[in-house]
Homo-oligomer: A and B are copies of this chain.
Amino acid sequence: MKSDIQISKEATLWPIDQIAEAAGLSESEWEPYGRHKAKVWLDESHEKNADMGKLILVTSINPTPAGEGKSTVTVGLADALAQNHRTMIALREPSLGPVMGLKGGATGGGYSQVIPMDEINLHFTGDFHALTSAHNTLAALIDNHLYQGNNLQLDPRRILWKRALDVNDRALRNVTIGLGGPTSGVPREDGFDITVASELMAILTLSKTIEELQERINKIVIGYTYAKVPVTVQELGVGGAITALLKDALKPNLVQTIAHTPTLIHGGPFANIAQGTNSILATRTALKLADYVVTEAGFGADLGAEKFLDIKVPLLEKHPDTIVVVATIRALKMHGGVAKTDLTTPNVAALEIGLSNLGQHIKSMQRYGVPVVVAINQFTADTAEEMEIVQKYVAQFGVQAYVADVWVQGGDGALTLADAVVKATQAASAYTPLYTPDMSAKEKLQAIVQTIYGGADVELSGKAQRQLIEFAKYGWDKLPIVVAKTQYSLSDDAKKLGAPKDFAIHVREFVPKLGAGFLVALTGSILTMPGLPADPAANHITVDNMGEIDGIF
């Protein structure tokens, strides 16, 4: 079997000007980055006058080591739609840290890939690097302020703005800085997050204009004074410089699938530690250009789709017309307790148990009032009997499941799914958000835990409770909530597969993100800086003298 990168290399890339033209962009609306990538910025008249297309949100069951192929289905479904409709894809950008660690990016697989996959997975057009640079420039300016007399009276023990790098580097989670005597800064504790967890990433993906970008940056709370008063970037006076560093990163990036479907890839917050959806601008641009836009949200529906529907939709001012929930027979069997090594053996009993995970996600998505379709991403070991069981199971929710054989066949493997999705988008849908702004943080969390996770309640640590009292003083207590939680379980315990019941979610701490406009609730033992495994992917990446890369997957 060919590897994804081999298939990517063998694909024929169209010059990016051809893709831009096919997408309906005029020449003033895009800039090339190499011969096969571009940055896009719609002219005002184009942005204003075009109607919005239909929006299809692809999400999935809780991920397992068996693989669900959500990005692969996203790409395959769009390639199928593109055979008969003006279609675009809107995805997140892959983070470099994990590419060097355990897995490749989010560019799909097999014959349902966005290409050139190696360039997209490595530096792409530099957006993440611009974010890393802007993030650490702000950090340097904060420490310089401490060093140069500290006019703002910032308490070095209460700086919220950490540093960031796009690497998996556990050794940087907790550091002390400013050592080496009086000429080398003010000693204090600090830490690094992975760039996708930076508030600047959240802000970039939520801003529609440079002006809004700067307004949000100015609102970032960098820390507290000795008198415990919050201090913002505005007060530090460097919002212009930080915005200037991000002005090009704000433009969505255009690439293509193997079938040449125009694809916007932009912004990459992880759904387990941030809001997990691609940028408002990319989705909006695609909706202005195409009749059908396929987008995805990170990890399972409990993480990515919930945030898409409760955080992104109100800002996008457009809700999905259909939600596609992706599962594989293999992964459902893992949710039913089968080990990864036994997945090729048919196991009806385990499948029936594991389907509870799919069921919870179907129910939670239906709660939003949007039509739901299930896509089963096909693997060779799947049997007709197993597929029948899935179909029978989902029928109880009034939902249908379709097989998508997209890894092998590309868009041709998703034509039936595409027809079903088109039909679903034509149904009248009545989007209802999960919570209203006036609800308290605890009430919002309860709605998420009970309705989306199928859990019992939320438990706040003493610190989290004290924080909410403090936040109320500043009017931050009514902000939307981004739950940072393990992606592997509906609960905050990665080991509880299937559809656990009667569990509580434990919030150990809130992180206020005033620029992004939400509170992050850290649950369980979730970390905002991953580590590398014992045998990292970096050990196997090669490049030849022609610049051809191998070993990325």
Contacts and interface: CB of A to CB of B under 8 A. Distances in A.
Contacts of A149: 534
Interface stretch (A209-217, A335-343, A377-385): A209-217
Contacts of A391: none
Nearest to A543: B244
Contacts of A140: 100, 167-169, 171-172, 532
A130 interface: yes
A243 interface: yes
Interface in A173-193: 173-180, 183-186
Interface in A130-160: 130, 132-133, 136-137, 139-141, 143-144, 146-149
A369 interface: no
A170 B183 contact: yes
Interface in A500-553: 531-534, 536-547, 549, 551
Contacts of A532: 140-141, 144, 148
A31 interface: yes
A33 B124 CA distance: 12
A106 to B, nearest CB: 18
A551 B240 CA distance: 10
Contact of A543 (B34, B148, B238, B247): B247
A103 interface: no
Contacts of A137: 96, 100, 167, 538
Contacts of A542: 240, 244
Contact of A180 (B31, B167, B174): B174
A245 B173 contact: no
B176 A538 contact: no
A35 interface: yes
A32 interface: yes
A308 B149 CA distance: 41
Contacts of A170: 143-144, 147, 178, 183-185
A492 interface: no
A475 interface: no
A39 B140 CA distance: 31
A472 interface: no
Contacts of A174: 178-180, 184
A96 B133 contact: yes
Interface in A58-91: none
Contacts of A176: 175-176, 179
A545 B212 CA distance: 9
A241 interface: yes
A93 B223 CA distance: 34
A478 interface: no
A126 interface: yes
A90 to B, nearest CB: 22
A151 to B, nearest CB: 10
A493 interface: no
A166 interface: yes
B534 A139 contact: no
A123 interface: yes
A247 B549 contact: yes
A248 interface: yes
A178 B192 CA distance: 11
A442 B531 CA distance: 44
Contacts of A133: 96, 123, 129, 132, 166-167
A198 to B, nearest CB: 14
A399 interface: no
A123 B126 contact: yes
A122 interface: yes
Interface in A214-246: 214, 237-238, 240-245
A263 B146 CA distance: 41
A144 B183 contact: no
Given A133-B129, A139-B169, A542-B240, A31 B31 contact: no
Would you list the 5 A-B pairs with minimal beta carbon distance, nearest first? A129-B129, A171-B185, A174-B180, A140-B169, A241-B538
Given A129-B132, A171-B177, A210-B544, 19 more contacts: A32-B33, A34-B39, A122-B244, A123-B130, A123-B133, A129-B129, A129-B133, A137-B167, A137-B538, A139-B167, A140-B167, A143-B170, A144-B531, A171-B178, A173-B180, A211-B545, A238-B541, A241-B541, A247-B543
12 contacts: A122-B245, A129-B130, A139-B169, A143-B169, A144-B170, A171-B186, A173-B180, A175-B179, A214-B543, A240-B551, A241-B541, A247-B549
